[in-house]
Amino acid sequence: MGEEGDTTSPPAETVAGVAQLYLGNILYAIELAALGLEEQQKPADAAFYRGIARKLAEARGRESGA
């Protein structure tokens, strides 16, 4: 289950597996947080969270060979 190269089973119940499964939701939530921080006049904090989201998205892209 969740073996490398096995596209039929869900990811393992690990932090990485769960994060992979819900990555789109996580990225959305991070962007909502960044928007809220911008509304609070905290652009540096918003940029920090967007940087995290960018790293997650780039890592996913590398994993999928995109």
How confident is the model at residue 2, as a pLDDT? 47
Rounded to an integer, what distance in angstroms lies between the CA atom of residue 19 and that of residue 64?
Answer: 15
| Spatial separation of the C-alpha atoms in residues 62 and 66, rounded to whole Å | 6
> The pTM is what?
0.76
Question: Distance (Å, rounded) from C-alpha 52 to C-alpha 59?
Answer: 11
Could you tell me the pLDDT band of residue 7, with boundaries at 50, 70 and 90?
low
pLDDT tens for residues 12-60? 789 988 999 999 999 999 999 999 999 999 999 999 999 999 999 999 9
Q: Give the per-residue pLDDT at 6.
A: 55
